[in-house]
Structure 1
Amino acid sequence: MNTMTTETIQRPILSIRGLSTQFSTPTGLLKAVQDVSLDVLPGECVGIVGESGSGKSVSFASVMGLIKPPGQIAAGEVIFDGTDLRKLTPEAMRRIRGKHIAMTMQDALTALNPAMTIEQQLLEVILAHDEDIAALSYWQQKRQARARAVEVLALVGIPSAESRLKDYPHQFSGGMRQRIMIAIALACKPRLLIADEPTTALDVTIQAQVLELIASLRRKLGMSMVLITHDLGVVAEQCDRVVVMYAGQVVESGLTAQVIGAPKHPYTQGLLQATPRVEDLSAPVRPIPGTVPNLINFPAQCHFYSRCTQRTEACLSAIALTRHADGHEVRCIRIEES
Structure 2
Amino acid sequence: MTAHPSPLLEVEGLRTVFDTRAGRAFAVDGVDIAVRPGECLGVVGESGSGKSVTFSSVMGIVRSPGHIEAGSIRFNGVDLRALSPQEMRKVRGRHIAMTMQDALTALNPALTVGEQILEVLYAHDETLPPERNARRKAAIAKAVEMLELVGIASAADRLRNYPHEFSGGMRQRIMIAIALACRPKLLIADEPTTALDVTIQAQVLELIADMRVKLGMSVVLITHDLGVVSEYCDRVMVMYAGQVVEQGPTEAVIGDPRHPYTKGLLGSIPRLSMRGHPITPIEGQVPDLIGLPPQCRFYSRCSERLDACLDVIEMREVGAARRARCIRLPEVEA
- Is the TM value for this pair above 0.5? yes
User: Would you say 1:168 and 2:168 are equivalent positions?
Assistant: no
Match for residue 277 of structure 1? Answer: 271
Match for residue 35 of structure 1? Answer: 30
In 2, the alpha carbon distance for the partners of 1:328 and 1:21 equals: 24
Match for residue 152 of structure 2? Answer: 158
Residue 165 of structure 1 aligns with an amino acid whose one-letter code is L
Identity %: 61
Classify 1:73/1:318 alpha carbon distance in 2 versus 1 (closer, same or farther; 3 Å).
Answer: same
Match for residue 95 of structure 1? Answer: 90
SS of equivalent to 1:336: coil
SS of equivalent to 1:114: coil
Matches within 5 A, 1:200-211: 200-211=194-205
User: Aligned-pair distance for 1:173?
Assistant: 0.3
SS of equivalent to 1:38: strand
Aligned residues of 2:93 and 2:179 also touching (Cα < 8 A): yes
Match for residue 72 of structure 1? Answer: 67
User: Aligned-pair distance for 1:285?
Assistant: 1.4
In 1, the alpha carbon distance for the partners of 2:22 and 2:208 equals: 41
Match for residue 330 of structure 1? Answer: 324
User: Aligned-pair distance for 1:132?
Assistant: 1.7
In 2, the alpha carbon distance for the partners of 1:196 and 1:251 equals: 20
Match for residue 301 of structure 2? Answer: 307
Aligned residues of 2:317 and 2:323 also touching (Cα < 8 A): yes
Match for residue 51 of structure 2? Answer: 56
Which of residues 10, 20, 26 in structure 2 aligns to 1:15? 10
Alignment RMSD (CA, Å)? 1.2
In 2, the alpha carbon distance for the partners of 1:284 and 1:231 equals: 19
In 1, the alpha carbon distance for the partners of 2:272 and 2:189 equals: 25
SS of equivalent to 2:139: helix
Tell me, which stretches of 5 or more residues in structure 2 are unaligned? none
- Show CA shifts across 1:116-136 (max 9, x none): 000110000000000121x42
SS of equivalent to 2:329: helix
User: Aligned-pair distance for 1:38?
Assistant: 1.3
SS of equivalent to 2:237: strand
Residue 96 of structure 2 aligns with an amino acid whose one-letter code is I
In 2, the alpha carbon distance for the partners of 1:77 and 1:83 equals: 10
> Number of matched residues?
332
Residue 36 of structure 1 aligns with an amino acid whose one-letter code is V
Residue 214 of structure 1 aligns with an amino acid whose one-letter code is I
SS of equivalent to 1:237: helix
In 1, the alpha carbon distance for the partners of 2:154 and 2:116 equals: 18
Which of residues 197, 216, 237 in structure 2 aligns to 1:243? 237
User: Aligned-pair distance for 1:92?
Assistant: 0.6
TM-score by length of 2: 0.97
Aligned residues of 2:103 and 2:171 also touching (Cα < 8 A): yes
User: Aligned-pair distance for 1:82?
Assistant: 0.3
Match for residue 183 of structure 1? Answer: 177
Aligned residues of 1:277 and 1:283 also touching (Cα < 8 A): no
Aligned residues of 1:49 and 1:242 also touching (Cα < 8 A): yes
User: Aligned-pair distance for 1:333?
Assistant: 0.4
Aligned residues of 1:98 and 1:129 also touching (Cα < 8 A): yes
Residue 56 of structure 2 aligns with an amino acid whose one-letter code is A
In 2, the alpha carbon distance for the partners of 1:215 and 1:282 equals: 35
Aligned residues of 1:301 and 1:317 also touching (Cα < 8 A): yes
Matches within 5 A, 1:214-225: 214-225=208-219
User: Aligned-pair distance for 1:282?
Assistant: 3.3
Aligned residues of 1:46 and 1:242 also touching (Cα < 8 A): yes
Aligned residues of 1:35 and 1:249 also touching (Cα < 8 A): yes
Residue 164 of structure 2 aligns with an amino acid whose one-letter code is H
TM-score by length of 1: 0.96
Residue 25 of structure 1 aligns with an amino acid whose one-letter code is T
In 2, the alpha carbon distance for the partners of 1:278 and 1:101 equals: 39
Match for residue 131 of structure 2? Answer: 137
User: Would you say 1:260 and 2:277 are equivalent positions?
Assistant: no
User: Aligned-pair distance for 1:281?
Assistant: 3.3
User: Aligned-pair distance for 1:325?
Assistant: 4.3
Match for residue 100 of structure 2? Answer: 105
User: Aligned-pair distance for 1:152?
Assistant: 0.4
User: Aligned-pair distance for 1:336?
Assistant: 2.5
In 2, the alpha carbon distance for the partners of 1:256 and 1:23 equals: 31
